[in-house]
Amino acid sequence: MLSSIASKLIQGEFICQYTNFAMFNEINKPDGEIKNKLEEFLLVVGRTLECSQSGNAFFAAHKKDAPGAKEESRRIFDKLRSKIRPTLSFLQLMAEINHTNGETGVFIQGGEILVVPEIIGALEKNQAHLSALDRLVWVKRKDEPLTQKVKSLFKELEKEGLVVIKNASLEHYVVTGKTDVIQDSMAFIADAENIYTEDQVEAKQRGLDL
């Protein structure tokens, strides 16, 4: 089990309690034995074991002083900026649709259930939501019927590890702990690490500031 967990972490995968309950529990055992061994292993390759603030997912992060850490963080930031962030924005919108108590402005968290038929029904009634859907990078075909478009979107999100199917017949998806990690890292990478996108780097070299 230890080698399998370490392999996944090194490959950049997230060990989430919703997608890999057994491995997550191994790392999270009270005795800390597996966690300590993983830390020792990761230190050798310039990484460290981290957990999302919500406690829903473990992942391997580059140590600040490790060779290439800055470049790797910038690459991750660029990916988050171009794809993940707009997706999370829409997942938040879907979460608001899914809340029966009418709350708004609640950040989506790992473990939340998204029901595809309910989301489709809510989208049909709101043009602004439909426009938001079409702006997503994950929506490959803008001319598809709404039902197929939303179902295709969830398949793309599942490939990215942002959601996982919970009930196929009812089309219930659970949001994974990866979304929590991404939200945590958005501010951390940009602010604490003072990392810029490639466009911003080029602009600064020209004496500009984006």
* pLDDT tens digits, 57-112: 999 987 776 666 667 666 766 666 666 677 777 777 777 776 644 555 456 778 88
Asked whether the predicted pLDDT for residue 185 surpasses 80, the reply is no
pLDDT band for position 197 (50/70/90)? very low
Computed over every residue of the chain, the mean pLDDT equals 79
* pLDDT tens digits, 22-47: 999 999 999 999 999 999 999 888 88
- Answer whether 146's CB lies under 8 Å from 123's CB: yes
For position 73, what pLDDT does the model report? 65
pTM: 0.73
Asked whether the predicted pLDDT for residue 201 surpasses 50, the reply is no
Domain boundaries, the chain: 2-62, 71-181
Mean pLDDT, to the nearest integer, of 131-156?
A: 88
For position 68, what pLDDT does the model report? 65
10-20 burial, b for 16+ CB within 10 Å, e for fewer?
A: eeebbbbbbbb
List phi, psi (to 5°) of 172. -100, 130
Cα–Cα distance for residue pair 98/95, rounded to 1 Å: 5
Percent of the chain scored above 70 by pLDDT?
Answer: 72
- Answer whether 137's CB lies under 8 Å from 86's CB: yes
Structure tokens at 192: 């604490």
Q: How many CB atoms lie within 10 A of CB 56?
A: 23
Structure tokens at 109: 């968290």
For position 89, what pLDDT does the model report? 74
Cα–Cα distance for residue pair 29/49, rounded to 1 Å: 15
For position 149, what pLDDT does the model report? 93
* pLDDT tens digits, 157-175: 899 888 999 999 999 999 9
- Answer whether 114's CB lies under 8 Å from 172's CB: yes
